[in-house]
Amino acid sequence: MRVPGEIAMTRRRRRRRSVVVGLLVCATAAGWYAGSASRGAGQVDAQSSKQSTANTRDVQRTVENSPSSMRRFAVSIRKPEGPPRVITGLTDLHGNPVTAACSTCHSTRKPNSTNRTAQDLNEFHGNLKISHGAISCLSCHNGEDYDALKLADGRRLEFTEVMTLCAQCHGPQMKAYEHGAHGGMTGHWDLSRGPQVKNNCVDCHNPHAPQFPKMQPTFKPKDRFLEPPRTAH
């Protein structure tokens, strides 16, 4: 027969076992639920990733097949080779014409902002035709570096970028040029078929006398289909 002390100790042991078993069951259940949730989230993420990839491929196919995404060739603008060279009238030993850079002479001369016409150039450029409004030579040429041009705000500009200089005063013409109504070009209007090369301002206009000469229209050409048939022989 057990004594009361042993009975109490046995009851306490049983209660401890029940608590331990309960904790183990709870931990096991929590781990299972966590693993299930993680596996479920992983499956959802994988499905979402696959769906996202599929959607991206569909969008790429749509863009590639759409007319607006057809390959467009480049539009380029012709540019001068660089600073102009002055023909001196001399020839070298091989008979080639001798040319000089603008700075060859102008680097030793003080810039004169009053020069506006060919008559003002009493030592050189006397045969130059100048008809460009009331501007002076130094309105466009750089008095500090005659191998470059000058913008209206005084900034230096390379000769290859001469169109930037022209656009300062000839804004309407530049806007028409940008839309293709002025200037002319070679190549393709449809850039999906080939590239386009646009003319530069100085390809058509003389910078010192840019206005084209006035022309009088002539009579229309004879068209044998518009003339009455001749019956008399």
The answer to whether residue 191 is domain-embedded is yes
Q: What's the pLDDT band for 136 if we cut at 50, 70, 90?
A: very high
* pTM confidence score: 0.59
The answer to whether residue 217 is domain-embedded is no
Looking at the fold, whether 62 and 124 belong to one and the same domain comes out as no
Q: What's the pLDDT band for 119 if we cut at 50, 70, 90?
A: confident
d(CA 128, CA 125): 5
Looking at the fold, whether 139 and 169 belong to one and the same domain comes out as yes
> DSSP letter at 220?
P
Looking at the fold, whether 20 and 111 belong to one and the same domain comes out as no
Query: Is residue 47 within 8 Å of residue 41, measured between CB atoms?
Result: no
Burial of 62 from C-beta contacts in 10 A (0-12 / 13-18 / 19+): exposed
Looking at the fold, whether 158 and 55 belong to one and the same domain comes out as no
Looking at the fold, whether 180 and 94 belong to one and the same domain comes out as yes
The answer to whether residue 221 is domain-embedded is no
Looking at the fold, whether 125 and 192 belong to one and the same domain comes out as yes
The answer to whether residue 227 is domain-embedded is no
Looking at the fold, whether 92 and 168 belong to one and the same domain comes out as yes
Looking at the fold, whether 49 and 87 belong to one and the same domain comes out as no
Q: What integer pLDDT is reported at residue 185 of this predicted model?
A: 92
Task: State the total domains in the chain.
Answer: 2
Q: What integer pLDDT is reported at residue 60 of this predicted model?
A: 46
The answer to whether residue 167 is domain-embedded is yes
Domain stops at, among 50, 69, 88: 69
| Amino acid, res. 90 | L
The answer to whether residue 170 is domain-embedded is yes
Looking at the fold, whether 65 and 104 belong to one and the same domain comes out as no
d(CA 17, CA 185): 96
Sign of the C-alpha dihedral computed for residues 94, 97, 98 and 101 taken in this order? negative
The answer to whether residue 232 is domain-embedded is no
128: left (phi over 0), alpha (psi -120 to 50) or beta: beta
Looking at the fold, whether 93 and 127 belong to one and the same domain comes out as yes
Q: Which of 7-11, 71-75, 89-93, 157-161 has the weakest average pLDDT? A: 7-11
**Chain mean position to CA 54:** 33
The answer to whether residue 169 is domain-embedded is yes
Q: What integer pLDDT is reported at residue 67 of this predicted model?
A: 53
Looking at the fold, whether 87 and 199 belong to one and the same domain comes out as yes
Q: Which domain holds residue 40?
A: 4-69
3-state secondary structure of 109: coil
Q: What integer pLDDT is reported at residue 146 of this predicted model?
A: 93
- pLDDT of residue 65 exceeding 80, the answer is no
Looking at the fold, whether 30 and 141 belong to one and the same domain comes out as no
Q: What integer pLDDT is reported at residue 51 of this predicted model?
A: 57
